[in-house]
Amino acid sequence: MNWQEKADGLFSIFLWLTLAALITNFVSFVSPYWIQSIPEAHSQFERIGLWTACFNGYMRPNDFNKAYFGCYYIYFVEYDNIRDWINPIWLYAVQALSSSGMLMQSLVAFVVLCQATRSIDRGDLKVTKFNLVGHFYTCTTLAASLVAFAVARYDSTWMPYPQFNVLSWSYAVAAASFALTLIAFIVEFLRYLYLDAIFEEHNVALLEHQEEMGKSSPPMKAAMPYVRDDQENFPLDVNDAPEDVDHASEFRSDLMERDRFDDADLRYSRDSRNFEPHKSRLSGSRSIRPS
């Protein structure tokens, strides 16, 4: 199996890993089961995700006039009074990172699908680098989200009764997405190495071919021009014809006869730059050179 076949095989693996990572990332992104209270606790807090929080009669210690029931979007008006508590600064950062990571992974998946349909060249190294950067960034955002929720799960100033709260299946799906994205990054990096080797091999073969062409096909010698003797002056125009030529047609005929020579009579000069033609005049022709 050559490098091109290995690169094609790795692309198929990379395609399916990317799609699986995107799906799992999306599921964890929208589901509200990152942290969940165990059923045996009968806690007023039920569960929370990146964008949704669920309560069952929860009341803040400084506000017993308002109890919260059900699941709502974190930025919904229902949670205006407790938004500073329910959505701390670190969760803002996680939401921003997760959103950008989701967008980046979607772009990478779109590019990979275009490569699968041959709309984009699979062997383009620049596109491969983009895929690598996209997956690396997505891995970074997922890792930040996983670490943040793992630490916040024990924070008693955030969700009540942390000893009864556990990381739920949305967190596990996000961890699976991180693993799939990391594996896809490694596979794409290996494919990049194969593509780079193919590119270098092609360049070496091209240079060798050019060298062989240069050795087997030497440059053609330029045709050596006829250099007229400086003392050989003859009229180039009918008006310059000597007086002993009566007719223009006879003058042209003499010029043509004067320029006729046999190739066998050519001889090169000693400096190998010029040659002197030995012209054979026809019998009966008159000289038109002025005396």
Q: Where are the domains of the chain?
A: 3-200, 224-291
Q: pLDDT > 90: what percent of the chain? A: 45
User: What band does 100 get if pLDDT is binned at 50, 70 and 90?
Assistant: very high
The mean-pLDDT minimum among 2-6, 21-25, 54-58, 124-128 falls in: 2-6
pTM tops 0.75: no
pLDDT in tens, 257-284: 555 544 444 444 444 444 444 444 444 4
Q: Which CATH architecture has domain 3-200?
A: Up-down Bundle (1.20)
pLDDT value at residue 272: 44
pLDDT value at residue 142: 97
pLDDT at 89 over 90: yes
User: Could you tell me which residues come within 8 angstroms of residue 97 by beta carbon, excluding any fewer than 6 positions away?
Assistant: 140, 141, 144, 145
pLDDT value at residue 144: 96
CB 30 within 8 A of CB 210: no
pLDDT value at residue 204: 73
pLDDT value at residue 213: 73
Instruction: Please state, rounded to an integer, the average pLDDT across all residues of the chain.
Output: 79
Compute the average pLDDT of residues 18-30: 97
Best-predicted range by mean pLDDT among 116-120, 138-142, 223-227?
A: 138-142
pLDDT in tens, 125-137: 899 999 999 999 9
pLDDT value at residue 59: 84
Token duo for residue 38: 């165990």
pLDDT value at residue 239: 55
User: What band does 165 get if pLDDT is binned at 50, 70 and 90?
Assistant: very high
230-235 long-range Cβ contacts below 8 angstroms, 24+ apart: 233/289, 234/258, 234/288, 234/289, 235/288
Q: Which residues of 132-153 are buried (b: 16+ CB within 10 A; e: fewer)?
A: bebbebbbbbbbbbbebbeebb
pLDDT value at residue 40: 85
Best-predicted range by mean pLDDT among 8-12, 103-107, 163-167, 215-219?
A: 103-107
pLDDT value at residue 277: 47
What is the CB-side half-sphere exposure of residue 185 using CA atoms within 13 A?
16
Top-confidence residue, 25 or 212: 25
pLDDT in tens, 195-248: 888 777 766 777 766 767 765 555 554 444 545 555 555 454 555 555 555 555
